[in-house]
Every structure is written in C-alpha cells, then in structure tokens.
C-alpha cells in the first residue's frame, strides 16, 4: 500500500527531527489529515522520540525549579509594572512596538469615549420623534384644557347673572 511506503520512506523521521524542508512539512501535514494510519504512525514516532529523550535525561540540581519560578515571577512583576499591551496575535509587530516603547513612556489612563452599536441609531431617532409627538400632544391638550376652563368660568358667570 502506498501509505506504508511513505511511512517507511523516512519522511516522518526527517519531520520529527526538525530538519524537514517546507515542502516536506506541508506533505506531512496533509498526509496526517488524509490518512489515519499515517497520523497514528507519526504520533507513535513523536512519543518514541520523547521516550528516547527520557533515556538520555539528566536530573537537574534541586534548586533549579525555584530559580525558574523566581525568574518567571520577576518577569511578571516587571510586566505588571509597565502594563504591556502585547497580544499574541500581534507578535509580528513586536519590533515596531518595541521602537514605540523606546520613544514613549506608557501611562495608565481611562478613555472618556464609549463605543455604541450602529443599530442604536434608529432607536435614538424613534425616541426623539416620539418625544416630539408627546410634547406636541401635551401642549395641545394643555391649551384645550385651558380653553375649556375659561368656557366653564364664563358659563358659571352667565348662570349666576340669570339667577339674580
């Protein structure tokens, strides 16, 4: 079977050793997607390379972990002090960012602007129009009411005069 030939060709070994060319890497990745047998063989090889490394491992001195933790804490403390804004997705812009950092000092500040979804525009327009309609109605009914009150007063006066 063709896939077995590819598995035996040494392509996987070149890949896991990190010396595969770009074309070979592409080939490995597409074979991995297409053929479960290839994927399984590759994962087994990766695991075996780990086992191989374990067989050649050397136990580090006892204080190594505390040194690493100390280093990491130091870096975090430094990072928190300058509040970095790097995002992983923007790593390619790192050099540009670094040059900006050299020119400017970072300060903490809060924006007084807020972002609103464009859909709210129609809601605001509707609220504005309804507001105008209510205002006009209120004025109309106020005037109507005042006129009615005056008419009532006049009628009362007429009735009183007739009674006398």
Partner 1 sequence: MFKAVSTHPSAEPKDIRWFYDQYAPMLLGYINGILQDHQKSEDHLVVILTSFIKDVVILQEKSKLNIWLELRQYAQSKLTLFTAKDHQLKPNPSLNKGRLDLLDDLQKRIFCAIYYHGKSISYLAATIGCDESEIRNQLKLSIDKMRRKSGN
Residue with tokens 């890497």: 25
| CA-only gyration radius of the chain, Å | 40
The least CB distance from residue 25 to partner 1, in Å, is 8
CA distance 100 to 89: 18
Two tokens, residue 57: 């491992």
Q: For residues 60 and 131, which CB has a smaller minimum distance to partner 1 in the complex?
A: 60
Q: For residues 101 and 156, which CB has a smaller minimum distance to partner 1 in the complex?
A: 101
Query: Which element (helix H / strand E) includes 32?
Result: helix 22-34
Any contact of residue 52 with partner 1 (CB under 8 A)? yes
Two tokens, residue 148: 């009615």
Taking the alpha carbons of 11, 16, 22, 28 in that order, is the dihedral positive or negative?
Answer: positive
Among 5, 18, 102, 116, binds partner 1 (CB under 8 A): 18
The least CB distance from residue 120 to partner 1, in Å, is 33
Any contact of residue 62 with partner 1 (CB under 8 A)? no
Stretch that binds partner 1, among 8-16, 101-109, 125-133, 155-163 (CB under 8 A): 8-16
Any contact of residue 157 with partner 1 (CB under 8 A)? no
Any contact of residue 82 with partner 1 (CB under 8 A)? no
Among 4, 30, 67, 120, binds partner 1 (CB under 8 A): 67
Q: For residues 57 and 109, which CB has a smaller minimum distance to partner 1 in the complex?
A: 57
Rounded to the nearest 10 degrees, how much is the dihedral formed by the CA atoms of 67, 71, 72, 75? 170
Any contact of residue 4 with partner 1 (CB under 8 A)? no
Helices and strands counted in the chain (H then E): 7, 0
If DSSP states are collapsed to H, E and C, what string results for 85-122? CCCHHHHHHHHHHHHHHHHCCCCCCCCCCCCCCCCHHH
- Where on the chain is the footprint of partner 1 (CB under 8 A)? 8, 10, 13-14, 16-19, 25, 29, 43-61, 64-65, 67-69, 71-72, 75-76, 80, 88, 91
């Amino acid at each position: 079977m063709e896939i077995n030939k590819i598995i035996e060709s040494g392509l996987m070994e070149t890949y896991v050793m990190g010396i595969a060319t770009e074309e070979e890497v592409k080939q490995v990745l597409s074979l991995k997607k297409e053929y479960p047998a290839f994927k399984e063989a590759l994962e087994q090889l990766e695991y075996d390379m780990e086992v191989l490394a374990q067989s050649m491992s050397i136990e580090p001195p006892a204080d190594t972990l505390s040194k690493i933790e100390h280093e990491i804490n130091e870096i975090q403390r430094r990072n928190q002090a300058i509040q970095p804004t790097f995002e992983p997705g923007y790593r390619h812009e790192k050099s540009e960012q670094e040059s900006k950092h050299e020119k400017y000092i970072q300060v903490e500040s809060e924006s007084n602007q807020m972002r609103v979804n464009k859909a709210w525009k129609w809601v605001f327009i509707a609220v504005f129009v309804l507001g105008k309609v209510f205002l006009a109605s209120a004025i109309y009914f106020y005037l109507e009411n005042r006129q009615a009150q005056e008419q009532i007063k006049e009628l009362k006066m007429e009735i009183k005069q007739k009674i006398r």
